[in-house]
Amino acid sequence: MNRELRRLQAKEEQRARERRQRAQPRRKRQRVGLRQFLSEVRTELRRVAWPSRREVVTFTVVTLITAGFVTLYTFGLDVGFKQGVLSLLELR
């Protein structure tokens, strides 16, 4: 077992040395001009797969229904726990 641990440790040290040798200091990136930035933004926005109006409406309705359900569920739990604690303490 001791030999195995030494071998593993030697391998790890060798890997660490190789990683250190490969690691080169990163060059600081230069900023691009405003025109180039806006041009790149425009290019990227053309590639975006925008949802249709129908999809947006559907997703919005599903989100609102889900949020309403979770709100009502949480409200019900809150009222139920409140009643349970009050009846447990008999402070009504």
Q: Phi/psi zone of residue 48: left (φ > 0), alpha (ψ -120 to 50 degrees), beta?
A: beta
**pLDDT score recorded for residue 11:** 87
CA pair distance 60, 65, nearest whole angstrom: 9
Identify the DSSP state of 90.
T
pTM of the model: 0.50
- What is the band of 64 on the pLDDT scale with cuts at 50, 70, 90? very high
Indicate the domain borders of the chain. 52-92
- Sign of the CA dihedral with 45 first, then 48, 52, and 56 last: negative
- Whole-angstrom Cα distance, residue 25 to residue 23? 7
Q: What percent of the chain has pLDDT over 70?
A: 92
